[in-house]
Structure 1
Amino acid sequence: MNITVLSLFPPMFDGVFGQSILKKAQDKGAVTLQVVDIRDYADNKHKQVDDYPYGGSAGMVLKPEPMFNAVEAITKGKQPRIILMCPQGERYTQQKAEELAKEEELVFLCGHYEGYDERIREHLVTDEISIGDFVLTGGELGAMTVIDSVVRLLPGVLGQEASHVHDSFSTGLLEHPHYTRPADFRGMKVPDILLSGHHAKIEQWRDEQSLKRTYERRPDLLVDYPLTKEQSAFLQTLQREKLDS
C-alpha cells in the first residue's frame, strides 16, 4: 500500500511514522508512507495557502489551488481513495478501516484554520472521515489515527496474523479481558478457567466476557448484532442480574 499525506505541518508525522508498527510495516515493505507539504504547491511567491472567506466570517479558509495542484501531481495516472479529514465526515469505524485496508493507494488531506474551500470537498475527495464528534486544530492527528488502524490490518504487518481478528469492534463486540503472568499478583488472581488448559471452555469464557463487556459499556453495539442461541441466553442472564441488583 502507498499512503500520501498532504499537510501544512509535515514534521508532526516524523515520530508517528518512525516508530512501532508503522515503522515495522515500512521496513517489511508492506506500506510506503510519505508526507507532502501543501505549501510546495502554492502558486504564489509567498506560498500562501489560505485566505479570508467570502461573505465574511472568523478564521481563514484553505484555498483550492494548492490542494488541487498537489493531488493532481501526486495521483497522476492513479485513482486512489482521497480522504478528507473533517469533523463533518463519516464517523470512523473498524469496518471502515477494514475497507480502506483493501486499497493500494490512499491520500489524506489535512486541513487547518477554519476549514476548506468547498470545491475541495465537492470535486476532489472520495471520502470524508471524522474520528469523533469533536473539533481538532487540524486533520493531522485524525489522519495518524486512521493510518495506524489501517496499516496494522495489512498482511504481514502484525507478528501473528490472527492478532487483530479479535480486536474490539472487529467482531462487532468489545474485546474480552486479557491476563498474563504472574497468576497471582498482590492477591489479584487470574480467572481459574484461563489456567485450566481446556481450550473450548476458555473460548466460551472469552466469548461470554466479550458479550458482557459490550453489554455493560456499549449496549448500542448489540442492537443489530446477530446473537447466537448461546449468546442470547447468556445476555438474558446478564439482563436478569442487572434487574435483580
Structure 2
Amino acid sequence: MIFDILTLLPEVCQAYAQASILGRAQKAGLIAVRPLDVRPFGLGRHHVVDDTPYGGGCGMVMMAGPLCAALESLEPEPAGPVILLSPQGRRFDQAVAEELARLPRLILVCGRYEGVDERFRRLKVDDELSVGDFVISGGELAALCVVDAVSRLLPGVLGSEDSAASDSFADGLLEHPHYTRPAVFRGLETPEVLLGGNHALIARWRRAQSLARTRARRPDLLAKARLSETDLALLDEVADQDNIG
C-alpha cells in the first residue's frame, strides 16, 4: 500500500515512518510511505506557500497553488483518495482505518497555519479526517496516526496475524489488561488464571476484562457493541471496575 504525504515537514514524517513496525514493513515492501515537501512548489525564489487571509484575521493560510502543484506532481497510478487532515473532517476511528486499508493508496494532505485555501479543498480533496476534537499545529501527527493505524491492518505488517484482531476497538471494545514477567511486581500479583496454562479460562477471563473495562471507561462503545448472551453473563460476573486487573 502506498501512503503519499504532502507536508512542509517531510523529515518529521520520514523519521517516524522509518522506525519500528512501519520501517520493517517498508523494508519488506508491504507499504511505501512517501513524504513530499510542498515547499519547493512555493512561489518565487523564496518558495512562498502561505499568505494572509482575505478579509483580515490572524495567522496565515496555505495557498492553493503550491498544494495543487505538489499534488499534480505525483504519479497518477494507482488511484487513491486525496484526504485532508482537518478538525472539520469526519472522526478517524478503527472502522475508518479498516475502510481505508482496503485501498491501494492514500494521499494525505497536512495543513499548517490557519488552514488551507478553500479552493484547494473544493478542487482536489476527496475526504477529510479528524483525529479528535482538539487543535494541533499541523496535520503531520494526524497523518502519521492514519498511516500507522491503517498499516497495522495490512497482511504481513504485524508479526502475528492475530495482533490486529485483538487490539482495542477491533471488535468495538477496549482491550483486556496485559501482564508479563515478573509474576509479582512491587507487591502487585499477576492474576492467577494467566499463569495456569488453561487457554479456555484465559480467553474467558480476557473477554470479561475487556467487557468490564469498556463498561467502566467507554460506556458509549459498550452501548454500540454487539454482545452475545455469554458476554452479558460475563458482565454480570464482573461487578465493578475494582475487579479489573
Q: TM-score range, shorter-chain basis?
A: over 0.9
Q: Deviations over 1:25-72 (max 9, x none)?
A: 111110111111112223433311111111111111111111111112
Asked if structure 1 preserves the Cα contact closer than 8 Å seen for 2:213 and 2:241, the reply is: no
Superposed counterparts of 1:149-188, under 5 Å: 149-188=149-188
Report the 3-state secondary structure (helix = DSSP H, G, I; strand = E; otherwise coil) of the residue aligned with 2:129. strand
User: Which residue pairs with 1:5 in the alignment?
Assistant: 5
User: Which residue pairs with 1:148 in the alignment?
Assistant: 148
Report the 3-state secondary structure (helix = DSSP H, G, I; strand = E; otherwise coil) of the residue aligned with 1:223. helix
Calculate the TM-score normalised by the size of structure 1. Answer: 0.92
Q: Deviations over 1:71-104 (max 9, x none)?
A: 1221434421211011111111011111111111
Asked if structure 1 preserves the Cα contact closer than 8 Å seen for 2:216 and 2:241, the reply is: no
Pairs aligned (count): 242
User: Which residue pairs with 2:16 in the alignment?
Assistant: 16
Asked if structure 1 preserves the Cα contact closer than 8 Å seen for 2:208 and 2:238, the reply is: no
User: Which residue pairs with 2:123 in the alignment?
Assistant: 123
How many angstroms apart in 2 are the aligned matches of 1:186 and 1:241? 21
Runs of 4+ with deviation above 6 angstroms: 239-242
Of 43-52 and 204-213, the range deviating more from structure 2: 43-52
How many angstroms apart in 2 are the aligned matches of 1:177 and 1:129? 30
User: Which residue pairs with 1:66 in the alignment?
Assistant: 66
Q: Deviations over 1:153-202 (max 9, x none)?
A: 21111111111111000110000011112222333211111122221111
How many angstroms apart in 2 are the aligned matches of 1:241 and 1:234? 14
Asked if structure 1 preserves the Cα contact closer than 8 Å seen for 2:174 and 2:214, the reply is: yes
How many angstroms apart in 2 are the aligned matches of 1:188 and 1:134? 36
User: Which residue pairs with 2:196 in the alignment?
Assistant: 196
The share of aligned pairs that are identical, in percent, is 48
Calculate the TM-score normalised by the size of structure 2. Answer: 0.92
Superposed counterparts of 1:207-226, under 5 Å: 207-226=207-226
User: Which residue pairs with 1:87 in the alignment?
Assistant: 87
Unaligned runs of 5+ in 2: none
Of 38-47 and 64-73, the range deviating more from structure 2: 38-47
Asked if structure 1 preserves the Cα contact closer than 8 Å seen for 2:14 and 2:35, the reply is: no
